[in-house]
Structure 1
């Protein structure tokens, strides 16, 4: 399992005083208000940053980091991920999983057939959709509903599914 989880991506600078525009990759954008620190993936290392201020504009979080007071200090980090440690991740309810924990899971039908590997999870308005890549390279899209996804074992990377009529 990953020790760090992505909560956002720096998309642009905001103003000249070192603030950044962040596209949130978390379900709850308001959680930036509770965060005291994040880790910036510089490409070489994870740099710990203390959050000094948070505001919101449309779908963006605007973050200010302690000790970074100039646009030139943050401009080079456009496109870089902001991460939190697993200990600082949101609490999950029963039957909720971090996508990174279930990707690459073996997907098996309730009839014992190996369907393929979970390669992506698409988030939609109604429910998530699991993208399963078969050995021949074709994809099967499975709605993440209890009638279809019977059991998820994130620790052992195994997902048990029921193929509803018309899915194949």
Structure 2
């Protein structure tokens, strides 16, 4: 196969993957178009090193390291960057993946975008208010949604329910 054919084949496969992915990602929002914005220096001041790495640089914590993985109390999971409520404990489940997993986000709490890193097409989940990277959403979750929001625990805070 000559180089041009190889590149054409790769672009075709990538385009096909993106088209299928776009069908899942109807809630995409342009990166940078978020109400809460700070300079990079201010984000570094406000966040821990691990939070900054995940929320602002789209990093990932090591599997099975987040205390929120075992959080079983009723309450709300918030964005660690801006405290926006993003997930409910009622939607959390043990996916066995090593990251807190949810069947859905709180309505209008997150935005998604296509992520082409690591040689695959994924839906990256962001806080809709500050744009912080939370994790990814996959289509292999349980009912009722069939989705698995695989979220970095260090990108979240937790507020226990008061009743």
TM exceeding 0.5: no
Greater helix fraction, Structure 1 or Structure 2? 2
Between 1 and 2, higher relative CO (CA 8 Å, sep ≥ 6) is seen in 2
TM-score when normalising by structure 1: 0.29
Greater Rg by CA: 1
Q: Which has the higher strand share?
A: 1
